Amino acid sequence: MRRRRAVERLAQGGWADGRSVWEVDDPGRAPVVDRVRVGEEPAPERVARVLDVAGGDAVCVRRRRYVLEGKPVMLAASYLPAALVAETAVAEIDTGAGGIYARLAEIGCAPVRFREEVRSRMPLPEEARELGLPGGTPVVLVCRTAFADGGRAVEVNEMVLDSAAYVLEYGFDA
């Protein structure tokens, strides 16, 4: 079981220092990204609305599958405005130390606020296949939006988690 510490993992101190968000969750037990596809695609309407791009305009999409101890545990698709990240490491397979948030900071669009929405449902057939889920296993959907200073949305990250592989932890001050 993987503990996902949503608040701590997105703290600027981590990615700004070149660390992965995974190091916060479970030090020394980071999942492996066994599949990465990066390219431009037309923005789905739900994403276009959040990123404030015209529906159908190109967005940079980073699709990944994460495997922990030989078992797929998460699918993720990050959508970023193509014009914003063109000719940066965000549009490459390897984004470098600190990942896309460190690269966004380099171009003056560091995330300063995040919003996550969490839902659950039964997986789509393709999700069940890619995650190797036994019948009857639900998935957890986490949709995270990263906002730069001034409130501009710079990333929408849609994640599909194997519900049997995660505990979602949210710790914050009262």
Q: What value does the mean pLDDT of the chain take? A: 87
- What is the pLDDT averaged over residues 23-32? 67
Would residue 172 count as lying in a domain?
A: no
Task: Specify the pLDDT at position 168.
Answer: 84
Say which CATH number the domain at 146 has.
Answer: 3.40.1410.10
Would residue 143 count as lying in a domain?
A: yes
Domain membership of residue 77 as a residue range: 2-166
54 or 120, higher pLDDT? 120
Q: Tell me: pLDDT of 92 over 70.
A: yes
The CA distance from 68 to 30, in Å, is 7
- What is the pLDDT averaged over residues 147-162? 96
Task: Specify the pLDDT at position 11.
Answer: 57
Would residue 145 count as lying in a domain?
A: yes
Report the chain's C-alpha Rg in angstroms.
16
Would residue 157 count as lying in a domain?
A: yes
Would residue 39 count as lying in a domain?
A: yes
Instruction: Provide the domain count of the chain.
Output: 1
Residues forming beta bridges with residue 3, ordered by sequence position: 167
Task: Specify the pLDDT at position 174.
Answer: 75
Q: What is the pTM of this model?
A: 0.85
Return the half-sphere exposure (C-beta side, CA atoms, 13 A cut-off) of residue 84: 26
31 or 121, higher pLDDT? 121
